[in-house]
Structure 1
């Protein structure tokens, strides 16, 4: 296990995975262990979002920066600067990172050079944040407090679609091919077709705002202030599973096949199996000193989670944790 510094210094914190290896000794999601901890002890700075692709983790911070980490070496390989307010959402695809900020812009970065190759202005109003971003190939999607979902083409830097229909802020977006999913403070999950610009499904079983969405094929996952994670089938528009267990609002979700990861204000990240509807792992991080926690929070809220292969990434206040099962024999 390694730990390394950012800003004013860093340190290793205790990680705990509340589950044991199954009796038959098989290697599964219950074998997750915390393998890396990246801690920023600069007062007032905290992690707002994380993303992962292969050996790379990306994190967005309240000090307006984006950091790129290499898991295999445990080092920060790039710090991307240019936003003028908090970076609240990040996404990654290959050598490209996308970030959304409270400054109303979406920035597209090239990891290899560390340069910003496009700045996309979602909104010109100071009070409208870009709450969420997603990327798929040459397309970027952003959701904002202006209640709009925008689809951008990276190569041209132009907005090719503006999707309207939500009644309140768009908190989360996801994209897969010609399909965009959005979650809003209005409690709705909407499924859009990019080519036509039309909403093809509205999913309405949450009774609080939808803070996060994810998509994998015909399956959409959403997390809400109602403390639940819901699993939806796009083709039928039906909720096929409601996952309960968090004791406070769900901030973030990620999906990979039959596995869902959710992060919550209750200070835990949970790993779920869709087919059984059961929680197979609860990931926790030891609470840090109050001095090191951000001014936004006095607790280790799990603001963001991401999953890729055998690796889960979660953010706890000022810390990014990497959880892995593939390192076990």
Structure 2
């Protein structure tokens, strides 16, 4: 089993920072060119939808059954876009530095934002009111992911910790010293936690007992993203490569680089489309669609 390149989509004039796919199969991207774009993946074309900001945006999230798009800007604003009306309905200005991660919790009807200074905020997805903001004093919080059906939230922090919060009172219940140079990404699969960091390692944890199960030097440089494809995991890195892994054993199954039709620059973002397809994007301004073959 390997992933093969299905198509290349171009259109951005700057590095692509984040990607997200909606339930209809449309892709949203944000770029250093200050545009947020929507793409028809089947046709490999840009839709007649684009948002131009005054500053680049680092993060995206879809909420409320894909009715609203959240955009986290480099200046700290969270823009709320009504996708049916195709207009901004809220500009949330609580954060003062770049919003690096956004996460929607449908079970709680809330969404979360994190920034470059280590602030974590909780917002109502119904009226967009601020419910809570916490200074976690952990440096930049680069990513968030939900676990335990929305009861837990996992934060990947610049100080090298992976922090697990419960989603009722947002108390920190587990703190793992996961990556010496900074934690970048995490996901939970089959009751175990996978983390990727600036130290280029992927680590597998029994997070409940806070014990390290396995670690591999996954890339030459920082691991920037990690997605669960069901029977495999896929990682992306600053080293310009994408790698496919066997869950549990962390045995490498496939390496995708420029010579194998991969990216020529840093790979910033991965997005799962289905169990057989995913998107990659990065500093080479290209969107690549990969399909299992």
| Cα separation, 1, equivalents of 2:123 and 2:129 | 6
**Change beyond 3 A, Cα 1:265–1:175:** same
Specify the alignment match of 2:16 in structure 1: 47
Matched, 1:246 2:213: no
**Change beyond 3 A, Cα 1:286–1:109:** farther
| Cα separation, 1, equivalents of 2:158 and 2:48 | 33
| Cα separation, 2, equivalents of 1:205 and 1:279 | 21
1:185-264 equivalences in 2 (<5 Å): 185-216=158-189, 218-264=191-237
| Cα separation, 2, equivalents of 1:101 and 1:259 | 32
| Cα separation, 1, equivalents of 2:166 and 2:22 | 25
Q: What displacement does 1:217 show?
A: 6.7
Matched, 1:67 2:37: yes
Q: What displacement does 1:250 show?
A: 1.1
Matched, 1:147 2:118: yes
Specify the alignment match of 2:281 in structure 1: 315
Q: What displacement does 1:216 show?
A: 4.7
Specify the alignment match of 2:27 in structure 1: 57
Is the Cα contact below 8 Å between 1:230 and 1:242 reproduced in 2? Answer: yes
Tell me the secondary structure at the aligned position of residue 179 of structure 2: coil
1:121 to 84, 90, 93: 93
Is the Cα contact below 8 Å between 2:117 and 2:137 reproduced in 1? Answer: no
Is the Cα contact below 8 Å between 2:36 and 2:52 reproduced in 1? Answer: no
| Cα separation, 2, equivalents of 1:161 and 1:218 | 28
Matched, 1:91 2:61: yes
| Residue-pair matches, total | 283
| Cα separation, 2, equivalents of 1:147 and 1:279 | 33
Matched, 1:160 2:131: yes
Q: What displacement does 1:106 show?
A: 1.6
Specify the alignment match of 2:103 in structure 1: 134
**TM-score normalised according to structure 2 size:** 0.87
| Cα separation, 2, equivalents of 1:214 and 1:98 | 21
Q: What displacement does 1:41 show?
A: 6.2
Q: Which runs of 4+ in 1 moved over 6 A?
A: none
Identify the range of structure 1 (65-74 vs 201-210) with the bigger mean alpha-carbon deviation: 65-74
Matched, 1:79 2:81: no
Q: What displacement does 1:131 show?
A: 1.1
Specify the alignment match of 1:170 in structure 2: 141
**Change beyond 3 A, Cα 1:101–1:305:** same
Tell me the secondary structure at the aligned position of residue 108 of structure 1: strand
What is the alpha-carbon root mean square deviation over aligned residues? Answer: 2.5
Q: What displacement does 1:286 show?
A: 5.9
| Cα separation, 1, equivalents of 2:34 and 2:271 | 20
Tell me the secondary structure at the aligned position of residue 10 of structure 2: strand
**Change beyond 3 A, Cα 1:239–1:58:** farther
Q: What displacement does 1:73 show?
A: 2.3
Specify the alignment match of 1:38 in structure 2: 9
Identify the range of structure 1 (87-96 vs 186-195) with the bigger mean alpha-carbon deviation: 87-96
Tell me the secondary structure at the aligned position of residue 220 of structure 1: strand
